Amino acid sequence: MTPSRLFSSFPEVQPGHRPLSGCRMIHSIAHPTDFSDAGATAFEHALRLAIDNRSTLDLLHVGPPDEAGHWHEFPQVRKVLRRWGLLKADAQVEDIASETGVRVHKIGIRSLDAAEGLARYLQDHRPGLLVMASRGHAGLERWTKGSVSAEVVRDTLVPTLILGPRARAMVDSETGVLSLERVLVPIDHSPSPDGLLAMLDTVTNGSGVAIDVVHVGNSAPAVRGAQGEKILVRLLEGPVVETLVHAAEQADMVAMLTAGRSGLLDALRGSTTERMIRDASCPVLVLPAAAGPG
């Protein structure tokens, strides 16, 4: 096992007043960054969702033990919020919490193995949602190929929003407006879809998006909504991945329930979910069968 430890945490904002309006559905959101332009879109999604949920936002960077802190290279939160019209030009760090209800922390993790470092963070902090790109040094591809220990992987059951290489953004980079009107929800008999829509309702903050529940095959499992009502399942025919990728062209996001004996990372390796992340034209929300957002 490669040793890793949290080596420093620099709060982008100090504790401040949280608006009383709205329901805080997701207590915290985490976003791994490698300081590259490739992760900028994923960061903007993490920030937008943190604002909508009044969540804590942890920006994570994993580096070797001898790496100096590079706080100035982290995503520029105030710059983005000014562009979105949510902060004044002369706003200070402490204004972020009072104006948006979000507390941002820049966290450095010392580890020779990025996958191990990220997994340790998830094990210790249990964020309600992880938002990441699928490529780059902080992306899913490197994470799933890392030498993560089995006991750590088993505890990484965290709902994860992943922006694949072909995914169009849900958040407008210039305005910060989130466009989420239709979610494609593929289901199967295993893992059981029980509780899936309730979890999805929590992640989407009960925003009333249109949910398109589909099953590729002739006999769909029964699905119940958040209030116990029976949900209509649309049947599709054809090769599973290709059929779902085609259906996703009409959606803003795909939400998939996935299960692995050793946790989320095991569930993604070589799975239908992994192929959807690679090929879908929209972001994929992975909801582990044994977990819900916190």
More confident residue, 3 or 83: 83
Per DSSP, 169 falls in state P
pLDDT digits (tens, 9 = 90+) for 69-117: 677 789 999 999 999 999 999 999 999 999 999 999 999 888 887 777 8
In the predicted model, what is the mean pLDDT of the chain?
79
- E-assigned strand segments in 51-145: 56-63, 103-111, 129-133
Task: Report the predicted TM-score, pTM, of the whole model to 2 decimal places.
Answer: 0.83
Q: Is 79 helix (H, G, I), strand (E, B) or coil?
A: helix
* Phi, psi angles (nearest 5°) of residue 278: -70, -35
Of the candidates 165, 207, 247, the one whose C-alpha atom is nearest the C-alpha of residue 48 is 207
The residue with tokens 């090929």 is 279
More confident residue, 29 or 227: 29
Q: What is the pLDDT of residue 44?
A: 97
Q: What is the pLDDT of residue 18?
A: 31
Query: How many C-beta atoms lie closer than 10 Å to residue 96's C-beta?
Result: 24
Q: Report the b/e string of 56-92 with b at 16+ CB within 10 A.
A: bbbbbbbbeeeeeeeeeebbebbebbeebebbeeeee
Instruction: Say which range, 33-42, 81-90, 166-175, 262-271, has the weakest mean pLDDT.
Output: 262-271
Q: What percentage of the chain exceeds 70 in pLDDT?
A: 76
Q: What percentage of the chain exceeds 90 in pLDDT?
A: 41
Give residue 195's pLDDT band: very low, low, confident or very high (50, 70, 90). confident
Q: What is the pLDDT of residue 176?
A: 97
Q: What is the pLDDT of residue 290?
A: 55
Q: What is the pLDDT of residue 154?
A: 47
Contact status, residue 272 vs residue 216, Cβ threshold 8 Å: no
Say how far apart CA 87 and CA 73 lie, in whole Å. Answer: 21
Mean pLDDT of the region 267-282: 79
Contact status, residue 236 vs residue 243, Cβ threshold 8 Å: yes
Name all domains of the chain by residue range, CATH numbers in brackets. 4-161 (3.40.50.620), 182-288 (3.40.50.620)
pLDDT over 70 at 263, yes or no? no
Say how far apart CA 45 and CA 75 lie, in whole Å. Answer: 12
pLDDT digits (tens, 9 = 90+) for 125-181: 889 999 988 864 445 555 555 544 444 444 567 888 989 889 999 999 999 999 999
